[in-house]
Amino acid sequence: MDPVTRTEPSTAKTVSPGTGVGLRCWGTRGSIPTPGPETVRYGGNTTCFELRHGGSRLIYDAGSGIRPLGLDIVEKGPDTIHIFLTHFHWDHIQGFPFFAPLYDPEDSIKVIGPKQKDIDVQNLFAGQMGPIYFPVPFSVVAAEMEFEHLNEGEYELEDVRMQVMRVKHPSFVLAYRIEVGGHTICLVPDNEMEGDMYDVGPDWKKRIVDFVGDADVLIHDSMYTDEEYERRAGWGHSTFSQSLRLAEEGGVGRLLFFHHDPIRTDDELDTIVARVRDGALARGCSVEIEAATEGMDVQLEADV
Ligand SMILES: [Zn+2]
Ligand SMILES: [Zn+2]
């Protein structure tokens, strides 16, 4: 599969600039890139999403999916790019050194993410391009770069309004609530709904339900089945059923499972999604359920 050219998977509509809000999924795999024939449909690249609404390039996370996105940007010409990060685990930043616009002096890139104690965003990025990890030093980056911290509160960019919230996963990890064009998309990355070992405050459960409240689309970490979770509690991730419970409690319209486990084949994911969907329908749950697919465009029509 070539995610640069693959634009229209079976269940998705294509976004036309100016007609609505679209979210392109460039990487939906969790933990480590997982290429191969058994993952070709849902994709093997790690976390990267792009918000398309006719304005600036807004990118969420820099997993290996940002590499083909970078090629797409280069093909279309220099741009002003904003990259919002959820956290700094490898699968969310590993594609950054391979992001082609970095090496074009005509590109402008702003990276916004959560500071980790005393380590700022620039040092976290430059660190992964040190000579022990990567052959090309950060000093070779030619694009105009800017770094900014975002650990709590709101962030506005043109007509896009974002709120962030710390979620339950090792280190300081952000979820994003993105409001644009009368629509709301919530991106909740690595997050362990049931974990109790995280320093997130006593009312966290209520706050996360409010945070995703009435979203058109919720994209949520769904690595494990209930059976698998019995052996994975404390690993920082949620189950399919936990994600669905959050979507229901928040009154979400459409739920996309993501951060697919590297061991999960396409066929297994099909089976799991069908089972969860059937169970939800049987008890009258109205949430639309599917698994995020690399190359998928999630389109929300303009209604404002
Ligand atoms: Zn991850
Ligand atoms: Zn993580």
Local mean pLDDT, 10-residue blocks, the chain (304 residues):
34 44 96 98 98 87 98 91 97 97 96 95 90 94 97 95 97 97 96 91 95 98 98 97 98 98 98 98 97 96 60
Ligand 1 centroid distance, CA of 284 (Å): 32
Give distance in angstroms: CA of 86 to centre of ligand 1: 9
CA of 109 to the centre of ligand 1 (A): 23
Residue 262 CA to ligand 2 centre (angstroms): 13
Q: What are phi and psi of 262, to 5 degrees?
A: -55, -25
Residue 158 in tokens: 């043109």
Question: How many A from CA of 239 to the centre of ligand 1?
Answer: 14
Ligand 2 mean position to 95 CA, how many Å? 15
Please report which ligand is nearest the Cα atom of 46.
1
pLDDT the model gives residue 3: 33
Distance of CA 26 to the CA centre of its chain: 9
* CA 190 to ligand 2 centroid distance, Å: 5
Q: How confident is the model at residue 36, as a pLDDT?
A: 98
Give 117: exposed, middle or buried? Use CB within 10 Å, 0-12, 13-18, 19+.
exposed
The residues spanned by each domain of the chain are 20-293
pLDDT at 16 (0 to 100): 42
Q: What pTM did the predictor assign?
A: 0.92
User: In CATH, what number does 20-293 get?
Assistant: 3.60.15.10
Look at residue 6 in the predicted model and tell me its pLDDT: 34
